[in-house]
């Protein structure tokens, strides 16, 4: 909700004619912050940022929102005419944006500096080995919402609507993952297979600090966090309420998702067992 409101404000009030959030005038930054403070509890937002380990807090949200919306506007610009038809592009402003701000944005896209930077960014993206094309949902969120396993989530994130892989590397990685999981399924129980997801993905995709490639962020293992939890238990009961941000974080944690899957399976098994007992009683 907070991020969405930030985006709406930017679309209505900003011309995206600066290279980045850092280049915006302080007056525009302060106006946004004051606007958001009138509508949200910044202390709560700060706690959410801390739980997500989002360095920079609210300012980082502003920075990423500016970058994301500028990128969206660039795609819109290219779609409605782009550099080949500048005049048509100017007449196709995005919904909610003023003519003045859109024209300033188009002028910015047309500068030599921006075009050179865009070319450099495109070249860098082409060098990336691991890119999730699966939309805004994380791997874990996709697994939970669509009831898919990790391999299916990887396939979804690396193929187009026709099931074609975006790159030969992604196809090879998928085939290697599939082979590893097939071998694992023959030697392990279903429960232990779930717990081995991280091991399989790391064996194929390699390791990355703070992140499981093809799965999501690593869970925090801070001893300080464990100590704080123990201390809170000594002080009294902990409120069971979780913020939406904390819930989203849990769904990005592969260990939590594995345990949730095991719990759901056990509940289903229990329900079937009760049904069998009832049938036996009827006899």
Angle in degrees, CA 33, 35, 38, rounded to 5: 110
Domain membership of residue 105 (yes or no) is: yes
Lowest mean pLDDT across 30-34, 66-70, 115-119, 244-248: 244-248
Per the structure, how many domains does the chain have?
Answer: 2
Query: Given a cut of 90, is residue 70 above it in pLDDT?
Result: yes
Q: Provide the pLDDT for residue 16.
A: 94
Domain membership of residue 257 (yes or no) is: yes
CB 176 within 8 A of CB 166: no
Task: Verify that 165 and 51 share a domain, yes or no.
Answer: no
What the block records as the tokens of 52 is 């997500």
Q: Provide the pLDDT for residue 275.
A: 45
Distance (Å, whole) CA 67 – CA 243: 26
For 275: left if phi > 0, alpha if psi spans -120 to 50, otherwise beta; the answer is alpha
What the block records as the tokens of 157 is 């994130």
Task: Verify that 172 and 252 share a domain, yes or no.
Answer: yes
CB 105 within 8 A of CB 16: yes
Match 């969405």 to its residue by tokens: 4
pLDDT digits (tens, 9 = 90+) for 40-59: 888 888 887 776 666 678 88
Distance (Å, whole) CA 165 – CA 275: 44
Task: Verify that 61 and 146 share a domain, yes or no.
Answer: no
Task: Verify that 175 and 261 share a domain, yes or no.
Answer: yes
Domain membership of residue 279 (yes or no) is: no
Q: Provide the pLDDT for residue 129.
A: 61
Task: Verify that 121 and 195 share a domain, yes or no.
Answer: no
Between 83 and 185, the more confident residue is 83
Domain boundary among 61, 91, 126: 126
Q: Provide the pLDDT for residue 277.
A: 45
State the residue range of the domain holding 114: 2-126
Q: What is this structure's pTM?
A: 0.51
Task: Verify that 55 and 151 share a domain, yes or no.
Answer: no
Domain membership of residue 14 (yes or no) is: yes
Element containing residue 160 per DSSP (H, E): none
219-224 long-range contacts (CB < 8 A, ≥24 apart) are 219/253, 219/254, 219/255, 219/256, 220/53
Mean pLDDT across 254-279: 61
Task: Verify that 149 and 89 share a domain, yes or no.
Answer: no
Q: Provide the pLDDT for residue 86.
A: 92
Confidence of residue 113 (pLDDT cuts 50, 70, 90): very high
Q: Provide the pLDDT for residue 232.
A: 41
Task: Verify that 259 and 145 share a domain, yes or no.
Answer: yes
């Amino acid at each position: 909700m907070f991020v969405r409101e930030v985006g709406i404000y930017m679309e209505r009030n900003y011309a995206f004619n600066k290279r980045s959030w850092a280049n915006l005038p302080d007056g525009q930054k302060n106006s946004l912050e004051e606007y958001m403070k009138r509508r949200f509890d910044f202390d709560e937002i700060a706690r959410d940022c801390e739980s997500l380990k989002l360095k920079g807090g609210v300012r980082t949200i502003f920075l990423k929102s500016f970058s994301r919306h500028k990128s969206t506007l660039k795609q819109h610009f290219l779609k409605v005419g782009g550099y080949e038809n500048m005049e048509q592009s100017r007449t196709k402003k995005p919904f909610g944006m003023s003519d003045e701000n859109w024209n300033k944005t188009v002028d910015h896209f047309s500068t030599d500096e921006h075009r050179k930077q865009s070319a450099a960014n495109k070249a860098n993206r082409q060098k990336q080995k691991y890119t999730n094309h699966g939309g805004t949902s994380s791997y874990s969120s996709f697994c939970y919402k669509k009831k898919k396993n990790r391999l299916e989530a990887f396939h979804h994130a690396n193929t187009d609507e026709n099931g074609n892989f975006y790159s030969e590397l992604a196809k090879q990685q998928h085939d290697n993952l599939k082979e590893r999981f097939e071998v694992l399924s023959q030697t392990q129980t279903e429960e232990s297979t779930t717990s081995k997801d991280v091991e399989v993905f790391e064996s194929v995709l390699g390791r990355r600090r703070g992140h499981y490639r093809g799965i999501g962020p690593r869970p925090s293992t801070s001893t300080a966090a464990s100590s704080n939890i123990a201390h809170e238990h000594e002080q009294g009961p902990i409120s069971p309420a979780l913020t939406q941000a904390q819930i989203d974080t849990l769904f990005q944690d592969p260990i939590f998702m594995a345990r949730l899957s095991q719990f759901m399976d056990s509940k289903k098994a229990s329900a079937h067992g009760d049904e069998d007992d009832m049938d036996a009683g009827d006899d």
